[in-house]
Structure 1
Amino acid sequence: MQALLSFEQAPPFTAPLRFFLTAPLFAMLAALLVLWSGPELFASRWTPAALALTHLITVGFMLQVMLGAMLQILPVAAGANLPRPLLVATLVHIAIALGALLLAAAFLSYQPLAFRLAAALVGSGVALFVAAAGYSLYGVSSTDPTIRGLKAALIGLSVTVCLGVLLATALAGAFEVPLLQLTSIHLGWGFVGWSVVLLAAVASVVVPMFQMTPPYPQWFAGRFSWVVLALLSLWSVADTAAWQRLEALLAGATVLSIAVFATLTLQLQRRSKRARFDATQRYWCVAMLSALAACSLWLAARSLPALAERQEWPLLCGVLALVGSFMSVMIGMLYKIVPFLVWSHLQNLGRGRVLAPNMNKVIAGKQIDGQMYAHLLALLLLCGAVVRPTWFAYPAGLALLAANGWLLYNIVCAVRFYRGHRLKIEAQTAHAAIGR
């Protein structure tokens, strides 16, 4: 796959960067919400604060990081150039950021207008991105597993957001729908059809390239994305039709497919040619282990009625999936994507006459390691807060705030590094031109 990468087709530096800079701010808002709500947030997965927290992370953090990554990956890995990428990125970013804020406010206040505005903003922002990405991918051959995965992920994103807009509009009082059933389907498509499918598509490029592992086996890379979408589609129909046995079978198969992806990734990491793991590899390891723990907990709750009756298990499963798996792997990817963006754009500015600094110098290793430990502490404390909210809720909020404030600081340091070296390269280039 590395041979197909086309770095000269990368979008402007600020196009994906705006998403990466905004994502930690939403995670910090989620931490402030934990501190403001306290132990009451962990009383149930359906508390207004828990729903607001979930969407601050999913729409505010995860969606921002994933859209920013796709802006970079589509032209570089798939050869799919978005039309006017800077304009698309600006409009999508504004819509998603404002929509995420309004959505969190809507769950905290249950004001119908807030739900309507949030649905309109998030829906229009995602629709614009899907239209631009779909246009860029039109005609691109699907022979490569990464390209197939990216196309499947766009389908998953479209279904997820359509279901989310339908739910938000229903909560605004426009019409009635079976909320619990539709929420379950929305969650399945968001977590698996969009997030896991995209993550697997990106992993097929970044894991072998950055972690120096063998490629994913062809039987997995070539079929995973569409098998998952097929399972989700059949599960959605079975759940809607109340075919309980078939629904349970398909849901279990979908969860097992996630476990297969996580297990394969861990096995590839064990075969890495690196002498020692860096922070990114450790983040991926934590993410895959958290995914396996979440899958195991979900399957256990389906099998053990005593566990299923406990209201802590959905919260713990959510913490493991959102913070332990998705946030971990996305932060790990940011520590490769952002330095790579800085390096590649500086390399292009130098035009072969002035070499860009080494990628490892963009963000100091100690800064990355420190932020990783803060994130792991936040994850452990959030898991503790699910079981003992009065003990751990406030420490978890503080740790989450510190970890994501640190993440923001590290990304800002990378931007400063880029600006400083860009000025140096421009000065050297101009001096060389005058000398001729």
Structure 2
Amino acid sequence: MQALLSYDQSPPMAAPFRFFLTAPLFAVLAGALLLWGGPDALASRWTPAILAVVHLMTVGFMLQVMLGALVQILPVVAGANLERPLWVSAVVHAAMTIGTLFLAVAFLSFAPYWFAAASAFLGFAALVFIVAAAASLRGVPPTSPTISGLKLALVGLSVTVALGVAMAVSFGGSFSLPLLQVADYHAAWGFVGWGLVLLTAVALVVVPMFQLTPNYPNVFGARFMVLALAALAVWNAVDLFWPGPWATLAAAVVVAFPPAFATATLRLQQRSKRPRFDPSQHFWRLAMLSTLLAAMLWGAAVGFDTVGEWQGWPLLFGTLVIFGAFVSVITGMLYKIVPFLIWLHLQNLGSGRLMAPNMKKIIDEAAMTRQLRAHGVACLLLALATVWPEALVYPAGIALIVAQGWLALNLRAGMQVYSAHRRKLDALPPASMQLG
């Protein structure tokens, strides 16, 4: 099921890395905002502070890394070369960064002009990327489930962005929408239609390759991802026209997809050929367990009035999905992708004159492990803060800042290794002179 990898088609390193290095800073900002909001921020899922925190994480952290990863994955995995990747990356990254900051301010102020500005920048960034990615994939045959999944993920991203922009524009009074209902659609398309589909497409390659596991079962190929998008569309239609038990049943079908993927991944990890788990594998395990807990919480909220009437369950659900699942798995992938790309580019630049450093020395494994523990503590405190906000919101905010600041430092350390090795290469004579 794995796609053939073409490392010679890698884009310039600056193209994906600008996204990777920026993302943790938005998560640090989210932690600071949680400290500023205090216990009142966790009064419900609709407080201005929590809406800003959620979008700093989903757009500022998650989307930044996911788009940066796609800049690298499209040519290497799918053979789909972006036209002018440095230009596309620079424009998308700048517009996304500005738009995310504007969006956070918009939620804190609920001023229509901030929503208009945020939707303009974020909509433009998404449009540029989607058009560029679609153009690169045009004509690429679906020779693997990963290639099909990348195309489907762009559909999920398009719907997610369209719903988000529509809500942002509606806040300006241009038209009215059933915002609570559309917000649920927006979140579901973002987490399942975009996030899960992209993660599945990428995992088909990276989990067997980096974690030394067997391939995923065939059921998790293109059909799984198509069915996920179809289930979302059916749920939206049923919820709009036949709300009630049928809509709940349709939603349950959507909710079943993430735990199915998580269960398959955990089973593959049990069959890993590695003698011991490295930090990246532990991040994946935490993500998959959080996914299962989130699905069980959703089922409990639907099936039991005591849970469903608790105002904090959506916050706990969101914490498990965003921080426990997506931030964990994204961090685990960064710890594999970043050292590998640094090694690959240094190896190519060396041209036999100077060997690239070992990947394990680019980002120290002990530093990854310490950051993993800090992230685990942050996830636990954030989850418990939804139950006891008065006591734990401040420790949770501090823990989030520490964990994500640590991630930023670890990624910077990898870049410092790259810079130091480049200086050594620059000091060497050209390969032709060495041969002579």
TM-score (norm 2): 0.98
Partners of 2:431 and 2:142 lie apart in 1 by 46
Partners of 1:3 and 1:91 lie apart in 2 by 29
Partners of 2:112 and 2:242 lie apart in 1 by 30
Residue range with higher mean Cα deviation, 263-272 or 343-352: 343-352
1:21 aligns with 2:26: no
Residue 403 of structure 1 and its aligned partner are, at CA, apart by 0.5
Partners of 1:386 and 1:429 lie apart in 2 by 59
The equivalences for 1:340-419 within 5 A come to 340-419=340-419
Aligned to 1:292, the other structure's residue is in SS state: helix
Partners of 1:143 and 1:181 lie apart in 2 by 38
Partners of 1:240 and 1:116 lie apart in 2 by 27
The equivalences for 1:91-102 within 5 A come to 91-102=91-102
The equivalences for 1:25-424 within 5 A come to 25-424=25-424
Aligned to 1:387, the other structure's residue is in SS state: coil
Residue 350 of structure 1 and its aligned partner are, at CA, apart by 1.6
Count, aligned residues = 436
Residue 434 of structure 1 and its aligned partner are, at CA, apart by 5.4
State whether residues 3 and 146 of structure 2, in contact with CA within 8 Å, keep that contact through their aligned partners in structure 1. no
Aligned to 1:214, the other structure's residue is in SS state: coil
Moved over 6 A (4+): none
Letter in 2 for 1:389: P
Partners of 1:232 and 1:393 lie apart in 2 by 33
Q: Residue deviations 1:65-90, cap 9 Å, x none?
A: 10001111100011100000000000
Partners of 1:346 and 1:250 lie apart in 2 by 50
Q: Residue deviations 1:200-251, cap 9 Å, x none?
A: 1111111000000001011222311101000001111111224323221111
State whether residues 28 and 400 of structure 1, in contact with CA within 8 Å, keep that contact through their aligned partners in structure 2. yes
Letter in 2 for 1:407: L
Q: Residue deviations 1:8-32, cap 9 Å, x none?
A: 1011001000001110000000000
Letter in 2 for 1:380: L
Aligned to 1:143, the other structure's residue is in SS state: coil
Partners of 1:216 and 1:428 lie apart in 2 by 45
State whether residues 349 and 426 of structure 1, in contact with CA within 8 Å, keep that contact through their aligned partners in structure 2. no
Residue 299 of structure 1 and its aligned partner are, at CA, apart by 1.2
Aligned to 2:272, the other structure's residue is in SS state: coil
Residue 259 of structure 1 and its aligned partner are, at CA, apart by 0.8
Residue 143 of structure 1 and its aligned partner are, at CA, apart by 2.9
Aligned to 1:296, the other structure's residue is in SS state: helix
State whether residues 2 and 204 of structure 2, in contact with CA within 8 Å, keep that contact through their aligned partners in structure 1. no
State whether residues 3 and 78 of structure 2, in contact with CA within 8 Å, keep that contact through their aligned partners in structure 1. no
Partners of 1:121 and 1:363 lie apart in 2 by 34
State whether residues 3 and 144 of structure 2, in contact with CA within 8 Å, keep that contact through their aligned partners in structure 1. no
Segments of 5+ residues of structure 2 without an aligned counterpart are none
State whether residues 350 and 429 of structure 1, in contact with CA within 8 Å, keep that contact through their aligned partners in structure 2. no
Letter in 2 for 1:74: L
Residue 351 of structure 1 and its aligned partner are, at CA, apart by 2.2
Q: Residue deviations 1:27-56, cap 9 Å, x none?
A: 000000011111111110010001111000
Letter in 2 for 1:193: G
Partners of 1:392 and 1:245 lie apart in 2 by 37
Partners of 1:169 and 1:425 lie apart in 2 by 51
Letter in 2 for 1:171: F
State whether residues 283 and 372 of structure 1, in contact with CA within 8 Å, keep that contact through their aligned partners in structure 2. yes
Residue 164 of structure 1 and its aligned partner are, at CA, apart by 0.2
TM-score (norm 1): 0.98
Residue 271 of structure 1 and its aligned partner are, at CA, apart by 0.2
Segments of 5+ residues of structure 1 without an aligned counterpart are none
Partners of 1:145 and 1:289 lie apart in 2 by 25
Letter in 2 for 1:317: F
Aligned-pair Cα RMSD in Å: 1.2
Partners of 1:282 and 1:220 lie apart in 2 by 22
